[in-house]
A and B are shown apart, each in its own frame.
Chain A
Amino acid sequence: MEGRRRAMIAEIGAFAATLALALSLAQGGLGLFFQQSEARAAAAAALAQAAALCCGLAFVLLVTLFVQSDFTVAVVAANSHIDKPLIYKIAGAWGNHEGSMLLWCFVSALFGAIFASVRGSQSLGLWARTIGVQGLVTAGALTYALFLSNPFARLDPAPMIGSGLNPLLQDPALAAHPPLLYLGYVGMSVPFSLALAALLEGKADQAWARVLRPWTLIAWTSLTLGIGLGSYWAYYELGWGGWWFWDPVENASFMPWLVAAALVHSAIVTERRGSLASWTTLLAIMGFGLALLGTFLVRSGVLTSVHAFAVDPQRGIAVLVMLAVALGAGFGLYAWRASTLGQPSGFAAVSRESMLVWNNFGLAVAAGVVLIGTIYPLLVEAFGGGLISVGPPFFNATVAPLLLLLFLLLPLGPMLTWRKGDMSAALLKLAPAAILAVLTLIIALVATQWRAAPAIGLMIGVWLVAGGFIYIWTRLQRGAGKLSAKIALLPLAVWSMSLAHIGTGVLTLGAVAETGFRTEQAVALSPGEGVAFAGRRITLLEVGSVEGPNYSATRANFRVDQTNGAAHALSAERRYFTTSPMPTSEVGILSALDGDLYVALGEQVRETQGAWTVRLYHNPLVHLIFIGVTLMALGGGLSLVALARKRRAAS
């Protein structure tokens, strides 16, 4: 009996997903052909909620299959293992292609249902059409998930223990990383649906932008957290001492992030002033296009080589078809209807709007350069030009300076008023930040013996942070009363924006310091031997073996003596999983105010008996990178709260 009930779960899951597909197709049809009927639009909204429930059920059932280690299901057999800790059995549900695509569908249906449930003051046409487009997006994803990567497919004969999750993925940060990224990727589908609905309506006005903003913020904040978490994971798990590698997979998430960041800003202009409406719709379309392209690049195997793509082209081609349909519909509608959107209201060359236009210019060009750099090797190979690599040296030479240039303008934006601003007054207020920044530049130049690039980077970081604080300060100068009362009364929107901008500065400082000043060294150490590194002395105490739940590890214990006499213990491991030939590394990190001492254990040295290769890194100010990202995400989250409060006050 028990066995039979268990055996039904996969079938119920597949049925729920199929039902969700039918429901979301109906949602699409009803929403788009609602013919100004409140009843039909309400039916489309109800269908959206039902589709989300079915998708949710399918996903929960898949997780159940993983928890039960039901190896008659192919995905579970290929990606799980009976000895795996429970949390990784659960995370295993989305740590593979099929499961992650089902998660994609679920998030898309969920966002559609939430959108359908909160109508607010939206016009019937906008609301119904957005629900309709979102329904088609979900339906497209479900079609793919069901017909090309069915997570519920059975396996016969079933293996006894399962082949295990990729050990690298067995990590708490990586359990949370994909869902957050998907919230971001799929979050861009709502702005896309809203843009298409606006084009169909022939109207992208301030009310439309008011609806668009929170959804863009959700996507951007999730992407920020997801990318930050991924980067942090790479930092402490890969044992390479770095945090960003301009890897195509990283770029695939960075492109939608850049466009989402641009959209967060352009939507403000459209909401406040009604300007940039057609550019905002275009950005929303491109943002989702890049999110789909990201999914394609990561999921098709095309990244390693176009030849790898040829091995299993079906899935990749299906995602490409979805991408073509989405972008074709989007750009087609845009070309046809954009001229009917909104009336531009004027603004001067020196104004808040103008600065936000430059923000969008910088972010969009950066996204374009990342895109070209990422796909260029594929293009060259496809046209028979042989294999080339485009890596960090290219992106550091192009994207980094572009972003730094953009950051140079950033603190000016909030200081200028809408329509027409006063540049000299803004510059005067920012003078302390400018002085601080120039002092940083001079000190950094002298201290590094005239290394210009990191010095300029540090200068810009200081300029951003100080500029952010000065903006809060100038807002506190307005009106009369006690400072503490004014601090309490300062709008949340001021805090959230400043937090995000200061976070950008903090991230810049960390990124520049880490990239410019990190030191590394590979040494061979025998137990008892020590080495001087980065003002410390690191001694290898002993090397032993440890048993984990589903791995065995070699662990090295170190002692770190600092110049002030303090000593710390530090250990690093290499873990060997029974299910994978590649060992993973657990690095030892000793954090101090000036940065991290980072120790990774390598292999045993062949020539010298008992000696081990140890890689030492000193990463100055690296924690600022992760603090900066957290501040940015916090700014995004607070901004959402501020928008929700404002809306509640208005209604």
Chain B
Amino acid sequence: MSFAAFLLAATAPAALGDPAQEARAQSLDREIRCVQCENEPIAQSTAEIATDMRALVRERIAAGDSDEEIRAYFRQRYGDFVLFRPPFDARTWALWAAPLILGGAGLFAVLASRRRRSAAAAEFTPEEGER
């Protein structure tokens, strides 16, 4: 595992030693919004505060926090704005339900119009269906 040791030596100080933990950190980096930038996750931002926030993510992981605990930690510090994955609560239930509501309404419309059409289609033979 000299390869891994070499990798570690050259890695920026903020990265975590355990690849699984670092993968978790990178995935969280993509969900947390840089509070100073315009619509960028901290994973991408070059701003100083983003660097600090990335370091904070790794600090919390090293301290044994779960992903959910880390999200809650950032939320508590910076507000809901900091999470690209909006929490499910009284304000956002309609957002999370939107796919179901839209899908349900669409499904209803498709099925209702089909009832009209399938009556008319019953008269055709498959041969007529060939173009």
Which A residues have a C-beta under 8 Å from some C-beta of B? 238, 240-242, 245, 247-248, 272, 275, 303-304, 344-349, 351, 354, 357-358, 361, 364-365, 368-369, 372-373, 376, 380, 385-394, 398, 402, 417-422, 520-525, 529-533, 602-603, 613
Contact = CB atoms under 8 A, between A and B. Distances in A.
A346 B121 contact: yes
A421 B95 contact: no
Given A344-B116, A365-B99, A523-B10, 14 more contacts: A345-B120, A346-B120, A365-B106, A373-B98, A376-B95, A391-B33, A402-B99, A417-B126, A417-B131, A420-B128, A520-B26, A520-B43, A522-B14, A602-B46
Given A398-B99, A531-B7, A419 B91 contact: no
B77 interface: no
Contact of B79 (A357, A376, A387, A393): A387
Given A348-B118, A386-B79, A522 B12 contact: yes
B76 interface: no
Given A304-B39, A388-B80, A524 B12 contact: yes
A650 B86 CA distance: 55
Interface in B108-131: 110, 114, 116-126, 128-131
A386 B83 CA distance: 13
Contacts of B79: 386-387
Given A386-B79, A531-B10, A392 B84 contact: yes
Contacts of A238: 44
Contacts of A391: 31, 33, 39, 41, 84-85
A357 B84 CA distance: 33
B15 A346 contact: no
Contacts of B83: 389
Contact of B103 (A245, A347, A357, A365): A365
Interface string B8-43: 001111110000000000100011010000110101
A393 B29 CA distance: 12
A419 B80 contact: no
Contact of A349 (B3, B6, B114): B114
B107 interface: yes
A361 B110 contact: yes
A344 B112 CA distance: 14
A606 B3 CA distance: 27
Contacts of A525: 10
A69 B12 CA distance: 46
18 contacts: A238-B44, A240-B44, A248-B39, A275-B117, A304-B38, A348-B124, A349-B118, A354-B114, A386-B79, A389-B84, A394-B95, A402-B103, A419-B128, A420-B124, A420-B125, A521-B11, A523-B12, A531-B7
B66 interface: no
B81 interface: yes
Given A346-B124, A389-B86, A521-B11, A351 B98 contact: no
Contacts of A347: 117-118, 121
Contact of B129 (A242, A248, A420): A420
Contacts of A368: 98, 102
A393 B31 contact: yes
A344 B120 contact: yes
Given A242-B44, A248-B39, A394-B86, A523 B11 contact: yes
B13 A524 contact: yes
Interface centre among B26, B44, B99, B122 (most CB of A within 10 A): B99
Contacts of B57: none
Given A365-B106, A523-B11, A387 B131 contact: no
A613 B46 CA distance: 10
Nearest to A611: B12
A389 B121 contact: no
Contacts of A388: 80-81, 86, 91-92
Given A365-B102, A417-B130, A389 B119 contact: no
B82 interface: yes
Nearest to B44: A240
Contacts of B85: 391, 393-394
Contacts, number: 155
Contacts of B98: 368-369, 372-373, 398
Nearest to A399: B99
Contacts of B95: 372-373, 376, 390, 394
Nearest to A526: B10
Contacts of B129: 351, 417-421
A319 B121 CA distance: 45
Contacts of A602: 46
A10 B124 CA distance: 65
Nearest to B111: A349
A346 B80 contact: no
A304 B102 CA distance: 26
Nearest to A392: B84
A346 B110 contact: no
A344 B122 CA distance: 14
Contacts of B131: 272, 417-418
Contacts of B26: 520
Nearest to A367: B102
B119 to A, nearest CB: 7
A346 B117 contact: yes
Nearest to B130: A417
A386 B109 CA distance: 35
B126 A420 contact: yes
Contact of A386 (B13, B80, B102, B123): B80
B124 to A, nearest CB: 5
A394 B129 CA distance: 42
Interface string B65-103: 000000000000001111111100001101100110011
Contacts of A603: 46
A242 B94 CA distance: 29
Contacts of A389: 33, 80-84, 86
A532 B6 contact: yes
A420 B94 CA distance: 38
Nearest to A416: B129
A369 B99 contact: yes
Contacts of A394: 84-86, 95
A534 to B, nearest CB: 11
B86 to A, nearest CB: 5
Contacts of A533: 7
A354 B92 CA distance: 34
A636 B92 CA distance: 38
Nearest to B104: A365
